Structure 1
Amino acid sequence: MVRQRMTGRERREQLIAVGRAAFAELGFDGTSVEEIAARATVSKPVVYEHFGGKEGLYAVIIDREMLALEKLVTDALGEGSWRERIEQAALVLLTYVEEETDGFLILARDSKPGTDRSYATLLSTAVGQVSHILATAFHHRGLDETLANLYAQALVGAVSMTALWWLDEREPSKEVVAAHIVNLCWNGLAGLEAQPKLKGHA
């Protein structure tokens, strides 16, 4: 039986899937065009033809992961009460870690700071959205709106760093982890002091 040849689009998608797994396992520096070609059972020129090299393939993979995760986080922060938005954002990030582990590994551990799209730029976008939500809430409660960005940095950092920790641990469940993140964030926000002071300093 003659094996049917892949179309150009099918080959491109195959190389993206193979590259995604390779970059997640070996990192950007540890992955070569030879490795990708061997895993896809094609010659090196095929990889170059579609992506111009591993850098081009990597850029496509990063862009896809960023768009997918960005949409999830943006949607999670879009509707609901203050607490529900925190819950939704924590849970979607942990779900992404669980279901798209390779993609999260590439974004969080390997994407290069300073590039147009990276995990850092995604977090920056999330900080902007959370800051807007907090500024509105601070205004209603008579708190200093100019500090909303500081609190947004702290909140997004807490969720992000916990997600990185959970990437390797996977215990307890994502629902339990999300509930505890929200417990810390929500109860901290609910009891905010207008003029907090360090206890050991005058």
Structure 2
Amino acid sequence: MNISQQPAARPGARSTERSLARRAELIAIGRKLFADTSYDALSMDDIARQAHVAKGLIYYYFHSKRGYYLSIIQDSVAGLVAFAAGGVELPPAERVHRTVDGYLRYAEHNQAAYRTIVSGGVGFDAEVHAIRDGVREAIIETIAEGAYGTSDITPVARMGLLSWVCSVEGATLDWIGRPGLPRETVRELLVKTLGGALRAIEELDPAHPAPEPARRDS
């Protein structure tokens, strides 16, 4: 079949593609708006004006300002987790390095989204905090898979990895706020501190031995 004989794309499919593209465009605009202005300070009129769209379009896609805001957070979370969790085919030590490097790359290139995810949104927001906690659990599972070959770990191991993830969040926020250290240096520092966490976990829970690279860092 030559090109002229190929069936044309269905109108419904084209409409869906345009709708998804428009939604993604609005989310990208929203990331920038909420990065510079607090949630309460932005009205739907403000958002529509700065996004150069009709207010009804935002209601059409997201139903409310709250829905728009949560969609922005959820989209950012999906990007962060996907960026950090790849490389499942790699050996454990390489996968850990790739995960940490991917995490830092995401934070470096999506600073507003990263700050929103890690800070839990504007003020105390239970839904946004739940999304943030989901990111932490996803990163813990990714590191556990890389270090132990499974995400089914004991409470001691989970707590040890959670404490490391929380320290990574603080260090990464400081790094993107005060650039100076190369990403490679920050990555190696965080990988070495992970080695310390893995050795501490092994000491308290021998069922989760630290991988060899972590032991060599001793």
Matches within 5 A, 1:56-67: 56-67=67-78
Q: 1 or 2 for the larger relative contact order (CA 8 Å, sep ≥6)?
A: 1
Does the residue aligned with 1:170 lie in a helix, a strand or coil? coil
Q: For the aligned residues, what is the CA RMSD?
A: 3.1
Query: In the alignment, is residue 107 of structure 1 matched against residue 120 of structure 2?
Result: no
Matched pairs, number: 183
Q: Counterpart in 1 of 2:107?
A: 97
Residue 191 of structure 1, CA deviation: 7.9
From the superposition, tell whether residues 42 and 192 of structure 1 become closer, same or farther in structure 2 (CA, over 3 Å): closer
2:37 is aligned with 1:21:
no
The answer for unaligned runs of 5 or more in structure 2 is 1-17, 206-218
Q: Give the equivalent residue in structure 2 for 1:73.
A: 84
- Partner of residue 143 from structure 2, selected from 126, 130, 152: 130
Q: Percent identity?
A: 22
Counterpart secondary structure, 1:80: coil
* Distance in 2, Cα, partners of 1:61 & 1:85: 28
Instruction: Give the deviation of 1:71 after TM superposition.
Output: 1.4
Name the CA shift for 1:71/1:189 in 2 (closer, same or farther; >3 Å): same
TM-score by length of 1: 0.73
Aligned partners of 1:20 and 1:80: how far apart in 2?
A: 33
Deviation at 1:106, TM superposition (A): 2.4
Match of 1:154 among 156, 163, 166: 163
Other-structure match for 2:98: 88
Cα displacement (A) at 1:103 = 1.8
State whether residues 20 and 103 of structure 1, in contact with CA within 8 Å, keep that contact through their aligned partners in structure 2: yes
Q: Which stretch shows the higher mean deviation, 95-104 or 186-195?
A: 186-195
Q: How far apart, CA to CA, are the structure 1 residues paired with 2:45 and 2:36?
A: 15
Report whether the alignment pairs 1:179 with 2:184.
no
2:176 to 167, 182, 202: 167
C-alpha distance in structure 1 between counterparts of 2:175 and 2:76, whole Å: 19
How many angstroms does 1:38 deviate by?
0.9
Q: Contact between 1:66 and 1:117, CA under 8 Å: does it hold in 2?
A: no
1:46 aligns with 2:57: yes
Judging changes above 3 Å, is the alpha-carbon distance between structure 1 residues 195 and 99 closer, same or farther for their aligned structure 2 residues?
Answer: closer
Greater shift, 106-115 or 12-21, is seen at 106-115
1:119 alignment counterpart: 132
Alpha-carbon distance in 2 for matches of 1:159, 1:128: 15
Given the superposition, is the C-alpha separation of residues 121 and 42 from structure 1 closer, same or farther in structure 2, using an over 3 Å criterion?
same
Give the conservation status (yes or no) of the 8 Å contact 1:72–1:92.
Answer: yes
The TM-score, its normalising length taken from structure 2, stands at: 0.69
| Separation (CA, whole Å) in 1 of partners of 2:57 and 2:155 | 53
Unaligned runs of 5+ in 1: 1-6, 138-143, 197-202
Q: Aligned partners of 2:185, 2:176: CA distance in 1, in Å? A: 14
